Amino acid sequence: MKLVLNEELQFLKDTASNFAKDKAPVSHLRKLRDDDHPNSWDESLWNEMVELGWTSILIPEKYGGSEFGLAGISVVLQELGKTLVPSPLFATGVLGVTSINQMGSESQKEELLGKILEGKLTTALAIDEGSHHEPANTELSAEKNNDGWVLNGEKVFVIDGSSADLLIVIARTSGNKGDAQGLSAFIVDPNSKGINRRKVPTADSRNYANISFEDVTIAAEEILGEVDGASDEIHKVLDFGRIAMSAEMLGNTEEAFAITLNYLKERKQFGVLIGSFQALQHRAAKMFCEIELTKSAVIAAMHAADENSNELERLSSLAKFQAGTTLHTVSNESIQMHGGIGVTDEYDIGFYLKRARVAEQIFGSSSYHKSRYADISGY
């Protein structure tokens, strides 16, 4: 497996890099936060992403997409991660598209993927119900009622949940909490009667919501795939999401490291540059090595996804574990090397620490994926 990008991926990466630097530096996130923007992302910037074709990257060509694969959207998210760009690209362009691709009928794919491609639809995947990620612990129930379904329960920490035009809800149609099987996916209008969306304030100033469902009635055709059919398919959706999130976290890490290196070259203490202190050089060298290791893990995982490799599950957990531990280390070290000013709002470096602490938990912490990797590997 090649651990380098081909010409097409490099072009996507360069385009995203220029876009992030020119259109959405960290000051863009800062302004959205200070303005208490209801969506936590800018609609005009999102429309520019749509025009660049980023929503079509994972969509098959038969539905009008470019089908550049997970590697394509991952390199875009990596560059956007460098300036902490908030957008629906992950929730819609990765999670939404993959869910519909994996589980949807032909008619659902034609309708929904077409709307996503054109920027007319944003989605949110509602799966977690507790503070720890575990799909098998789904309790939100979907009960058959005449020609439709009735949903009852609650989902928490739904990415882009307060702004999405469409919810993809994982519900239990058979079995009990803890059962790996018995899950189904539903496409739900968030404005339906009985749904209550509550935006959750988080350290990284992004869009998350807790969503409750009370006797929410939906039509029979709004099931995504077969009854009990999401139990296996959702794992591939989550693995795609974990790899894409790992790529974004890699971008967060790279930029936090770059900012810190520049600071070491500029800050003087005792009359000399602090970058000349051997102890700090050693710590910077260790961070560099961990970042290079993370790059290899993320590239290997995204290629495994596009090649439909049997190693997908193992490599997705490796990527998420490695990206999480490296970002945790680098964000901590960056703050420490900046000293007290690192935690002040005036300096951008603090935003990377805040993003790190939230991103680490998305679809499984490093501890979760260390255990999952060991289980898959037979330890």
Residue 147's pLDDT is 84
| Mean pLDDT, residues 309-321 | 97
The CATH class of the 124-230 domain is: mainly beta
User: Does position 341 have pLDDT exceeding 70, yes or no?
Assistant: yes
Distance, CA of 81 to CA of 203 (rounded, Å) = 16
Q: Give buried/exposed letters for 69-106 (b at 16+ CB in 10 A, else e).
A: bbbbbbbbbbbbbbbbbbbbbbbbbbbbbbbbbbbbee
What would the pLDDT profile of 205-240 be if each residue is shown by its tens digit? 999 999 999 999 999 999 999 999 999 899 999 999
Residue 226's pLDDT is 92
Q: Which residues, in sequence order, are CB contacts of 350 under 8 Å at separation 6+?
A: 335, 342, 343, 344
Residue 270's pLDDT is 86
What would the pLDDT profile of 269-283 be if each residue is shown by its tens digit? 888 988 889 999 999
Residue 2's pLDDT is 61
User: Does position 28 have pLDDT exceeding 80, yes or no?
Assistant: yes
Residue 320's pLDDT is 98
What would the pLDDT profile of 29-55 be if each residue is shown by its tens digit? 999 999 999 999 999 999 999 999 999
Distance, CA of 76 to CA of 89 (rounded, Å) = 10
Distance, CA of 200 to CA of 155 (rounded, Å) = 12
Residue 143 has phi, psi (to 5 degrees) of -110, 140
- pTM for the model stands at 0.96
User: Does position 338 have pLDDT exceeding 90, yes or no?
Assistant: yes
Residue 379's pLDDT is 85
CATH 1.20.140.10 fits 231-377, yes or no: yes
Q: Give buried/exposed letters for 244-258 (b at 16+ CB in 10 A, else e).
A: bbbbbbbbbbbbbbe
3-state SS of the chain?
CCCCCCHHHHHHHHHHHHHHHHHCCHHHHHHHHHCCCCCCCCHHHHHHHHHCCHHHCCCCHHHCCCCCHHHHHHHHHHHHHHCCCCCCHHHHHHHHHHHHHHHCCHHHHHHHHHHHHCCCCCEEEECCCCCCCCHHHCCCEEEEECCEEEEEEEEEEEECCCCCCEEEEEEECCCCCCCCCCEEEEEECCCCCCEEEEECCCCCCCCEEEEEEEEEEEEHHHEECCCCCHHHHHHHHHHHHHHHHHHHHHHHHHHHHHHHHHHHHHCEECCEEHHHCHHHHHHHHHHHHHHHHHHHHHHHHHHHHHCCCCCHHHHHHHHHHHHHHHHHHHHHHHHHHHHHHHHCCCCCHHHHHHHHHHHCCCCCCHHHHHHHHHHHHCC
What is the average pLDDT score of the chain?
95
| Mean pLDDT, residues 134-157 | 95
What would the pLDDT profile of 363-373 be if each residue is shown by its tens digit? 999 999 999 99
| Mean pLDDT, residues 172-187 | 95
Fold designation for 7-122? Butyryl-Coa Dehydrogenase, subunit A; domain 1 (1.10.540)
Residue 271's pLDDT is 87
User: Does position 192 have pLDDT exceeding 60, yes or no?
Assistant: yes
Q: Which residues, in sequence order, are CB contacts of 232 under 8 Å at separation 6+?
A: none
CB atoms under 10 Å from CB of 278, counted, come to: 7
User: Does position 186 have pLDDT exceeding 70, yes or no?
Assistant: yes
Q: Which residues, in sequence order, are CB contacts of 150 under 8 Å at separation 6+?
A: 142, 143, 215, 216, 217, 218
Residue 275's pLDDT is 85
Residue 3's pLDDT is 62
User: Does position 1 have pLDDT exceeding 60, yes or no?
Assistant: no
In the chain, % of residues over pLDDT 90: 92
What are the residue ranges spanned by the domains of the chain? 7-122, 124-230, 231-377
